[in-house]
Every structure is written in structure tokens, then in C-alpha cells.
Structure 1
């Protein structure tokens, strides 16, 4: 929770708080993606070498690239949206990500969902809609005043949710289809992301201006370095929590993290909240906790299932999403 909350607050600080005496804003969101991915790639590659695990790609390279493209689009939409909507609005909107995940899972993995799943998804979407539609006042960065901030912000968040849902669903499909170490997927996915984001920076002509901005504003360099560090560390914590304590505990922690992120953002950056937004927040987090505590715990792997895994027939196993 410390790393993820820090990650969220640093995102807002870098994209929405001016640097230096001239009050300049950092505008190169793809550069943040590049810094995050190259740090994670280096750490995951070092972990594979230290543990003497296979460095060769387990799945076809194009599948890693597909995840990289959708992940870059996800992160870019997330950073760009912070120019037009506040961090609390963005965080609440992220709570609706289960809807695109359900859609992509139905399309890609032919999963079927039951009535309670759709009910919780509807309640969460309703709460997010209330939160977005009834703001306490104008809450956009000064550099964007006079523009259609709400329209652009909502479009970017819709793009974020769609790409993010595809990314997580396709990652799940790769884990099910191949006997793949988590660090193996992280390494090749982030390596592809490094190449793609660097190419995008060069084509847009943003690489040199971004480096010059960071060079001129040392506090921005520190923020970006800390952002990349906590983004990398959080990946290891997430993997450890899911493997050790299960998905239910992880879902509860993530829900608490989102609530804490909003509260800290409101205090730190002085975001006003209307009473309608408080009602929307209660609906969202109440639904998320209700879904977490009513979910059935995953069944333990039986000895026969373990034999199937050892024999390389892991595709026959059914795992809870």
C-alpha cells in the first residue's frame, strides 16, 4: 500500500504541479512510461539472472509486444488524463475496470459471469458516474483552463479502462497457455515497452526536451526516479501477495489503497469533494468490499492437479479469475 499510494501521488505531482520559479509543467507522459519500464525491465532481468532461471522467451515474442503496446497505451492515457481530471476522479473511474475486464474475458477467454458479478459491476459504475457528474467545482490544472477538460478526461479514462482490461486479460491468457515464470513475462513485456516508448519519444521529438526539462529541474528528476522505483517495487509486492495470501486479500488491499489514495490526494492537493461525490465514493467502495467478502476462496490444488502440472499438462487445470 505504501508503494502504490506513493506511486499514485507522484503521478499527480509530476503531471499537475509546476516546477521551478517559472512554474513550468512536465508534459511528456511517454517519458514517464519509458523510465518506469526500463527500471522494471532491469530489475526483472537481474532477478532472472540471480535466480539462474531461463532468460529465453517462453511465448512467441509478438505476444509480449501485444501486451506492451496495450500497456503503453494504458499508462499514457492514465498520465494524460491527469491533465484534464483530478486524481480522485481518476482513481474512482479505475474502480470500473471490472466491466472491460469482463467484456475482454468473455471475448478472449470465453468466460461466463453470474448475476452478482453484473450487479456489483453496475453499482460500481453507478458510483463512479455520480462521482464524476457532480464535482464540487473546477479542478483542472492551470495550463488547461479554457479547454474541454471533462470531455477529454472522460475519453482518456475510457481509453485507459479499455486498454487496461485487455492487458490484464491477455496476460492471464498467457499464464494459462504457457508454463511461464512471472519475471519472464515482466522482463520481456517491459523490454518491448522500453523499445516502443523510446521509439515514440524519438518520433515525437520529445526525448531531448524531456531530458532537458529533467536536467533543469532536479526535483523533477528525483520525482521520476522515485516514481520508477516504487512502480517496480510494487510489482514484486503484488506478485508475492497473490502467491502467498491469495486474490481475496490482494483485492481488499487494493480497495483500501484506492480509498487511502483519494483521501491523501484531497488533503495534499486540496481537492474539494461535494456531498454527491461522497455518496458515489461510498457506493463504489461498499460494492468493492461486498464483492471481495462474498467471493468464494480459491480451491486448493489437489494432488492429482499437482501431478498434471508436473507432467506439463497445466492447460487442463481450471483457475479462479
Structure 2
């Protein structure tokens, strides 16, 4: 006797739980990740108030941890270790991901975490650009309106700082031009990374752990090579050796970064790249509030207006996506209604 097909309510409930799982995982891991990266890059260590300057070393630590965990997961589940897609495609994601993370860490030297975090809301724009180019996706006018409002709000937030936040690297006010340039690089590379991940998931029958393992393995090799060529590997190790609290912060950062990679890949595979960008909205709002409270970042009234524009726009988009879609138009044929067929 055949098993009954799952009901519509059962499917919706299952997707709801998957959404709760994805949102909770991203929120917890990335909020902790955000606080730790600001602490490591902007708070001095030791009695001599020394700053940790080796952002590529953080990338290497994060990726080697993630690679080891994903390899263990593949071996434990007895799934194939062989690459499913051509290796160069994993390397493309890896290179883009390294550039994304490096820009993110470097930007914290010149702009405050709230500025960086709100700017990340604009990742919908590069996702849409790359989605149109790579996935041949067509977006609606409302999507472009939201993207414009988010860009407007982010611009207001960046251009009208409170004026008292100090960058430890230029001993003065935040270096807005260079910091924003790094954030533009972050957004462009990050949009490509998530969109190309989405393309690989849809183009190949690929396990999440398989993609994570090969992309992070490539990242380990590339970041280690970069550290050696720049002469930063030994100084970074020496800094961590002499500052145990920095070592513990990096271990915890790598742990939550690894967990976040699995949640991000799961979310992109289950819901797509643009939905992932929208899910990040609440996490970014919480991160800004926590950073302002924890590290004492002041916000001007213009920045509050910019933040309101960004989050209202994104939440309006999320609300619109949850509304039921109208049924397709019907026409009457021989006394019975039938759906109108698309023109050939």
C-alpha cells in the first residue's frame, strides 16, 4: 500500500521549521562573530596596548578550522570526498570569499562596526547584479526600489557620523573614504560568492559539506601563501603567542565562523542567495545595537534616520514576500473555466 503524500500544511510547517533553524543559526553565530572581530581588530591587547593587524591570519585560522570540520563530517557520514564540480569552480568561490573576508577585517581598521554592518545591508544590490549576470534572474521593480532605498539609507549613515568615533589606526576620525572603498569591495565579492554558491548547488547534485570542504581547503592554501609572501605568518604567530587572550578570541572566532559557514550554505541551498541576503537584516540590526552598547559607538540623528530607512525598506520587502500571491487569471471555455495559457 502506497504511503500518503505529504499535505500542503505539512510542507509549509516543514519549511517554517527550516526557516527558523536557518535564521536562529545565522543570528547566534554571526552576532558573536561580529562582536569578536571588532574586539580583535579594534581593541588593544596587553599592557603596551598593541593592536592585532594581521587580518589574513584570521582568514587562515577560520578556513582551516572549517575545512577540518567539513572533512570530518564527510568522513563520518561516509559521503563522497571527491569533488562534484570542476575544482576551478571551488577555487573561484574560495578566492572571492578570501577577498570578501579580508576587506571586511581591513575595513574595521578605518570605520566603526555599526557603519560596516549597516553597509552590509546593501549586499542585495550586488546579489541582484550578479544574479542577473550569472543566473539570468529577472527582478521586479519593487526589488530595485528596495535596493535604491537601502543604498540611500546606507549613504546617509556613512556620510553623517556622530564625529567622536576614533579609529585606532589613523589616530583621528574614521577614515571614511578608504573604509567605504573596502566595504564596496566586500559587497562586490560577497555578492559574487553567494550567487556562485547558489549556481553550484543548482547546477550539481552537491552536498553542503562537499562544497564547504573544497572551497575552504582552497582558501587555506591561498591565505597561507599570502601570509608567507607578505611576511606576516611569523609576526602573527608571535603576537598570538605573547597574548593569550587574543589566542582565545581567535579560537572562538574560528569556531563561530565555522558554524556560520554551515548555516549560510544551508540557507543558500534551501532558500537561495537573495533570501539569504534578506535573512541577514535582523542579525545586522541586533549587531549594530549590541556594538553601540558594548563598545560605546555614538550615533548621530542622521544615522538613526539612515538606519530606519534601511531596515523599514528591508522589512517591507520581507513582508511583501510573505503575502499570498494572487491566483493566475482564468478564462471560460465551453461553460467551464480554464487557466489562460501563455503565448508561445
TM-score, normalised on structure 1?
A: 0.88
Distance 2:195 2:269 in 1: 18
Distance 1:235 1:142 in 2: 29
1:138 Cα offset (Å)? 3.8
Matched, 1:67 2:68: no
Structure 1 116/69 Cα, relative in aligned 2: closer, same or farther at 3 Å? same
Q: Is the 8 A contact 1:15 1:27 kept in 2?
A: yes
Please name the residue that 2:235 is paired with: 209
Distance 1:85 1:92 in 2: 11
1:145 Cα offset (Å)? 2.2
Please name the residue that 2:144 is paired with: 118
Please name the residue that 2:105 is paired with: 79
Distance 1:242 1:84 in 2: 30
After superposition, give the CA deviation of every residue in 1:137-158 in whole Å (9 maximum; x if it has no partner).
Answer: 1423233225881111011001
Unpaired segments ≥5 residues, structure 2: 1-26, 326-344
Q: Which is worse superposed, 289-298 or 86-95?
A: 289-298
Please name the residue that 1:233 is paired with: 259
After superposition, give the CA deviation of every residue in 1:225-264 in whole Å (9 maximum; x if it has no partner).
Answer: 0000011112334455677899999666522211110001
SS at the partner of 2:47? coil
Matches within 5 A, 1:154-233: 154-233=180-259
Distance 2:247 2:32 in 1: 16
Match of 2:82 among 51, 56, 63: 56
Please name the residue that 1:306 is paired with: none
Structure 1 193/244 Cα, relative in aligned 2: closer, same or farther at 3 Å? closer
Q: Is the 8 A contact 1:85 1:149 kept in 2?
A: yes
Structure 1 162/237 Cα, relative in aligned 2: closer, same or farther at 3 Å? closer
Matches within 5 A, 1:1-321: 1-145=27-171, 149-239=175-265, 253-295=279-321
Larger gyration radius, structure 1 or structure 2 = 2
After superposition, give the CA deviation of every residue in 1:7-48 in whole Å (9 maximum; x if it has no partner).
Answer: 000010000000000000000000000000000111111001
Distance 2:217 2:296 in 1: 38
Distance 1:246 1:203 in 2: 37
SS at the partner of 2:56? helix
